[in-house]
Amino acid sequence: MSTALTFRELPYARESLATVLSTTGAIGEDGVVVTDATLFYPHGGGQPGDRGVFITADGRTLTVHDTRKGANGQVHHLLDPNHGLEAGQSVTQQIDWARRYAHMRMHTALHLLSVVVPHGVTGGSIGADRGRLDFDLGEASFDKEELSERLNALIAADYPVTSEWISEAELDARPELVKTMSVAPPRGAGEIRMVRIGDVDYQPCGGTHVASTAEVGPVQVASIKNRGARNRRFTLTWAEAPGGGQ
């Protein structure tokens, strides 16, 4: 049985009940706990796995150190090996919301970065304090300050962020929708999840996002660095507080 990805439809849910399906992990690893459903985003697409806690029916609080994709559509929650959980038990899942919400804001900001830097994406990663995308820029060049202004204008315009599913065949017919050159969108189930930001961005993505761009808040392009002849690394951070200067 696979794990229902509750975070997909309810990215703002912080706490939920789930039932333990299995606790079999590779021996010597952290204690791997699989549940029937999860609020915990598993590491993927540049977005880190969620952390948080499981609270047992008898009131124990167990730390979830990381979340990973397992085989057969299951999600692996990595706990300390002495978690004591067994199949059939119910647990209350609580994600580290401050961290996850920062990931949602930064992930949405990076989609907007791919709007103002319209070039192929060759890599990227998301953190709570910063995020980065690498682009194959060729001969193009960009100014940090100007990019920051354009990004913050898109954020302030408060575009809705929504998701929908299309078939793999539809995506194959519109290859221009795929901005990432290095990472192919996840396939296999016949359906591809698309994330839409108003009328400015539309691309395959399995990550979690805020509901509207204003929630991202002010950002700044902190640096643009050479990563080889054609590649440039753009790093985004949260803008400094008003009055703190840029």
* DSSP one-letter code for 29: S
| Minimum CB–partner distance for residue 78 and Zn ion (Å) | 23
Q: Is 216 in the site for Zn ion (CB under 5 A)?
A: no
Distance CA 57, CA 67 (A): 21
The residues near 110 (Cβ < 8 Å, ≥ 6 apart) are 46, 124, 126, 131, 132, 133, 236
Residue sitting closest to Zn ion (CB): 205
| Minimum CB–partner distance for residue 207 and Zn ion (Å) | 4
Q: Is 207 in the site for Zn ion (CB under 5 A)?
A: yes
| Minimum CB–partner distance for residue 110 and Zn ion (Å) | 7
Interface segment toward Zn ion; rule CB under 5 A; list 84-92, 158-166, 183-191, 199-207 = 199-207
Q: Which residues pair with 78 in a beta bridge?
A: 32, 66
Interface segment toward Zn ion; rule CB under 5 A; list 26-34, 94-102, 175-183, 205-213 = 205-213
| Minimum CB–partner distance for residue 72 and Zn ion (Å) | 24
Scanning residues 1 to 40, which ones bind Zn ion (CB under 5 A)?
A: none
Q: How many residues bind Zn ion (CB under 5 A)?
A: 2
3-state secondary structure of 116: helix
**Encoded amino acid at 86, one letter:** E
| Minimum CB–partner distance for residue 45 and Zn ion (Å) | 6
Q: The tokens 């960009």 sit on which residue?
A: 142
Neighbours of 119 (CB within 10 A): 19
Of 78 and 205, CB closest to Zn ion = 205
Interface segment toward Zn ion; rule CB under 5 A; list 8-16, 96-104, 154-162, 198-206 = 198-206
Distance CA 67, CA 54 (A): 12
Question: How would you classify residue 211: left for phi > 0, otherwise alpha for psi between -120 and 50, otherwise beta?
Answer: alpha
Q: The tokens 């315009």 sit on which residue?
A: 157
Is-contact 92 15, C-beta < 8 A? yes
Find the binder of Zn ion among 21, 85, 102, 205 (CB under 5 A).
205
Of 33 and 195, CB closest to Zn ion = 195
Residues in contact with Zn ion by CB under 5 A are 205, 207
